[in-house]
Amino acid sequence: MKTIKEISHSLKNEPGALSEVSDIMGANGINILALYFTAQGEEGRLQFICNDPDRAVKIMKSKGYDIDTREVIACVVPNHPGGLNAVLKPLKSAGINVDYIYSCLGTSDITVVILGVSSVSNACVILEGNWIRVMGDELYKL
């Protein structure tokens, strides 16, 4: 099963909080490939994919961040009107809920989305069975 590791943590919803994470990653040569941030009131939740997740977790923990990790799916989406449905409809038909979705920042000439789903292993089988390219460690090299 091809999956990637998503790093997440709580973050204050204040100016500079996201920049601090970016500074830490950049200073350590870690590239953020995709990110999702949402906030309600004074607190927010940052979820991101980077090119060296194990090292990023160690660094963030050493800086005092409370880190969680989760296996998620990265898959290539056809880049045309309605292309996202090539991913979403097979999951819908299989009864797999998409908890959240966000896209990668800059992945050359392909469109890659990150999926948080209710059943990662089942979703991988369904997507690959429907000719969707599911990415594993090769995403870290883009």
Domain ranges of the chain: 4-70, 71-141
Is residue 53 within 8 Å of residue 33, measured between CB atoms? no
Using one digit for the tens of pLDDT, what is the confidence trace for 8-27? 999 999 999 999 999 999 99
CATH architecture of 71-141: 2-Layer Sandwich (3.30)
Q: What is the pLDDT of residue 97?
A: 96
Q: What is the pLDDT of residue 142?
A: 73
Helix or strand or coil: residue 91? Answer: helix
Q: What is the pLDDT of residue 105?
A: 86
Q: How many Å apart are CA 85 and CA 89, to the nearest integer?
A: 5
Using one digit for the tens of pLDDT, what is the confidence trace for 38-70? 999 999 999 999 999 999 999 999 999 999 999
pLDDT tier, 108 (very low <50, low <70, confident <90, very high otherwise): low
For domain 4-70, the CATH superfamily is VC0802-like (3.30.2130.10)
Q: pTM of the predicted model, to two decimals?
A: 0.91
Per CATH, 4-70 and 71-141 having the same topology is answered yes
